[in-house]
Copies of this chain bind each other. A is one copy, B any other.
Amino acid sequence: MTNLTAWVSQNTPNFISSTLLATTPAPTEAEPVSNSLVLAAVLLTLVVIYSASKIGAEICTRINLPTVLGELVGGVVIGISALHLLVFPEGGMTAADSLIMQFLEFTANLSPQAAEEVFRSQSEVISVLAELGVVILLFEVGLESDLKELLKVGPQAVTVAVVGVAAPFAGGTLGLFYLFGVPLIPAIFAGAALTATSIGITSKVLTEMGKLNTTEGNIILGAAVLDDVLGIIVLAVVAGLAKTGEIEVGNVIYLIISAAVFLVGAIIVGRLLNPYFVKLINKMQTRGELLLTSLVFAFVLSYIGGVIQLEAILGSFAAGLVLAETEKQEDLQKQLFPIADMLVPIFFVAVGAKTNLGVLNPTNPTNQEALVLAGFLILVAIVGKLITGATVFGKPGINRLAVGIGMIPRGEVGLVFVSVGAASGSLNKATEAAIIMMVIVTTFLAPPLLRLVFQSGSAEDLSTELSGALSSETSEPETK
Contact = CB atoms under 8 A, between A and B. Distances in A.
Nearest to A265: B4
Interface string A298-336: 011111101111011000000000000000000000011
Contacts of A269: 1, 4
A53 B127 CA distance: 26
A29 interface: yes
A291 B295 CA distance: 21
Contact of A288 (B61, B236, B338): B338
A20 B243 CA distance: 10
A131 B286 contact: no
B335 A22 contact: no
Interface residues of A, number: 105
Q: How many copies does the complex hold?
A: 2
A350 B135 CA distance: 23
Interface stretch (A8-16, A145-153, A161-169, A172-180): A8-16
Given A16-B236, A43-B135, A108-B307, A54 B8 contact: no
A226 interface: no
A23 B39 CA distance: 34
Given A269-B1, A296-B47, A300-B47, A291 B338 contact: yes
Contacts of A46: 295, 299
A192 to B, nearest CB: 13
Contacts of A42: 128, 132
A345 interface: yes
Contact of A254 (B13, B22, B336, B423): B13
Contacts of A286: 54, 57-58, 61, 67, 70
Interface stretch (A30-38, A393-401, A467-475): A30-38
Contact of A291 (B11, B16, B300, B341): B341
A284 interface: yes
A181 B338 CA distance: 56
Contacts of A242: 23
A391 interface: no
A44 to B, nearest CB: 5
A19 interface: yes
Interface in A237-287: 239-240, 242-243, 248, 250-251, 254-255, 258, 261-262, 265, 269, 284-287
Please name the 6 residue pairs, one residue from A and one from B, whose CB atoms are nearest each other, closest first. A288-B341, A40-B306, A335-B338, A23-B424, A57-B286, A43-B299
Given A31-B90, A43-B299, 7 more contacts: A13-B254, A24-B419, A24-B423, A36-B312, A121-B124, A337-B338, A338-B339
12 contacts: A12-B309, A19-B248, A23-B420, A36-B131, A40-B307, A43-B312, A44-B299, A54-B284, A54-B289, A58-B285, A70-B286, A339-B339
